[in-house]
Amino acid sequence: MKIGILGGGQLARMLALAGYPLGLDFVVLEPAKDACAAPLAVHLQADYDDPDALRLLAQQTDLVTYEFESVPASAVEQLGAELPVYPPASALATARDRNNEKTLFRELGIETAPFAEVHDLASLQQAVNSLGLPAILKTRTLGYDGKGQQVIRPGDDLAAAWDAIGAVPAILEGLVKFDREVSIIAVRSVSGELAFYPLAENRHQEGILHQSICLREDSHQPLAQDYARRVLERLDYVGVLAIEFFQVGEHLLANEMAPRVHNSGHWSIEGAETSQFENHLRAILDLPLGSASPVGHAAMLNLIGTLPDRQALLALENAHLHLYGKAPRPGRKIGHLTFRESSREKLGTRLAQANKLL
């Protein structure tokens, strides 16, 4: 069976790595020549909306999935007429637009930070009047890893903030004083089977995910699962879905969702009975889902910008190194490390050792 993937980055690479033991083959559509999934798949090198390449992809595969949410709607439409495309187009349309996703959360009774739509300087002024400052202005689309965002503090020039995000449709959000940032990875198969991974606690550096720790038996797990279930069922979702939350006391405020395998779930390769990558494939193929239960105490550290000494990283006990085959560049995710330990204390020690090397 052949799976098509729109996008040929590290997520596609790790999907392929998880899929080969299941007897699957992969074709990726990806414009970059040196795509890191290319060594593991047939590589169609073309733009995501190239109709000829999309036709070829549909001819060569049994179903299609994707590794990023800003897939052109026209590509999903063309492919969807030929073969199954998962997760569904409605999930893409929701997740690629911050206003749509926050509106969906609100409709489903899922708490969010207070927010308002912004489409010009006058509506920004109105949003500031109603939400107050400090607040954070975010582009509705194409924002990730803290890009397309501007914090506005009392006394700041609103016109400058509006220009800084490119004067494009946006939302203004109240700045949340959160206790922690957490995320849940949830899965739903074609026939509606569900699985939920334990929450991960996420720490960012300069807007980029740095560390995720799998939280075993966290008191917020039932609420996160309930929220994820509402989204999965409303969207008739198929595949892995990630939802990121701000935790404030007992509350979880949904910040954003990603209709794909997610960086905060990479720990699951070694730290769960079945990885998020394998379960995404099982879900879209309507195979029984694997257990999402944690194995030991696991955490993931991203390798960003430069590759530390590989010898030193692998000398750390219980270190599992995943390199994506990408050239180092500032701010670029080039790999990750996972640690799995028998206790939370040992995990803490290992993370401290590893962080010294990064």
> Which residues make up the interface to ligand AMP (CB under 6 A)?
113, 136, 143, 146, 173, 175-176, 181, 204, 207, 244, 255-256
In DSSP terms, which residues pair with 170 in a beta bridge? 118, 139
Considering only CA atoms, which of 261, 352, 240 is closest in space to residue 301?
352
Could you tell me the smallest distance in angstroms from the CB atom of residue 88 to ligand AMP? Answer: 23
Could you tell me the smallest distance in angstroms from the CB atom of residue 235 to ligand AMP? Answer: 20
- Distance, in Å, from the CA atom of 301 to the CA atom of 11, rounded to the nearest integer, reads 16
Of 2 and 180, CB closest to ligand AMP: 180
- Distance, in Å, from the CA atom of 283 to the CA atom of 243, rounded to the nearest integer, reads 17
Of 78 and 149, CB closest to ligand AMP: 149
Residue with the shortest CB distance to ligand AMP: 176
How far, CA to CA in Å, does 86 sit from each of 5, 72, 109, 239, 258?
A: 10, 14, 25, 7, 13
Of 133 and 175, CB closest to ligand AMP: 175
- Distance, in Å, from the CA atom of 48 to the CA atom of 25, rounded to the nearest integer, reads 20
DSSP code, position 83? S
Of 207 and 331, CB closest to ligand AMP: 207
Could you tell me the smallest distance in angstroms from the CB atom of residue 79 to ligand AMP? Answer: 27
Could you tell me the smallest distance in angstroms from the CB atom of residue 215 to ligand AMP? Answer: 17
Could you tell me the smallest distance in angstroms from the CB atom of residue 67 to ligand AMP? Answer: 18
Burial of 78 (0-12, 13-18, 19+ CB in 10 A): middle
Of 67 and 181, CB closest to ligand AMP: 181
Could you tell me the smallest distance in angstroms from the CB atom of residue 178 to ligand AMP? Answer: 6
Match 């979702």 to its residue by tokens.
237
Of 33 and 177, CB closest to ligand AMP: 177
In sequence order, the 6+-apart residues with CB closer than 8 A to the CB of 355 are 301
- Distance, in Å, from the CA atom of 310 to the CA atom of 322, rounded to the nearest integer, reads 11
